[in-house]
Structure 1
Amino acid sequence: MSSGVTGHVATLLAEGVGPLDALVLHAAAGHVPTVFLKLSRDWSEEEWASAEEGLRGRGLLAGDELTEEGAALRQRIEDRTDELALPAYAALSDDELARLAELARVFGRTVVDKGLLPFSR
């Protein structure tokens, strides 16, 4: 597992955020469509709704949107994840970082183009 992923999982656990909670918070932030997260991870509607209720109970969601506290939690998680991943990227030159980004775009586009992560059913 890469240091970025390991750091992200460790940060989520330290903040008391489970896998589905993390996705619901991500969707509520508006960066990725909820339908995509549901389909790509195969959580049931009941599981998703239960996670939303739990996050509302913690004061992290109001309706389908992040509260101020929820937004602050997400930002802490993102900031800490970035800090923990930085050493892996710091070892690369600017040219190597550009090449890594190029390869990641090609890989991601191929996965979507092949229908491996459908946006709708």
Structure 2
Amino acid sequence: NQTLTLLQLEHMHRHKTGAMISASVIMGGMTAGASEEQLGALKDYGEAIGLAFQVQDDILDGTTDTAVLGKQQGSDQARNKPTYLSLLGIDGARQKAAELHGKSLSALASFDERADQLRAIANYIVKREY
């Protein structure tokens, strides 16, 4: 029930969804013996796709049918929850998701096909429809 700026909303989600996804990706890289440079790229990927996940979740909450979504459609708006959809509108939120998706894929450029599974996850996150 608070009004947030886009910067504040991103800060919150970087420390929630973004941090969980980044930690998972980085730990996988560490286990595989990734270099510091590679770990930095994986962190960039995780942060971007973590935010993209949240943006897409906000879009779906506002646009997907309750029966398909698995929760009450529009529940974020009903709870006066700050979202990317409420701050950017549907077109702006979709553009933001696409931008973050592009950043996540760019972060993986040095990995060649070794990061194809991460690319597939990024594609799923941004293109998912329940």
TM-score by length of 2: 0.30
Higher relative contact order (CA 8 A, sep 6+): 1
TM-score by length of 1: 0.31
> Which protein has the bigger helix share?
2
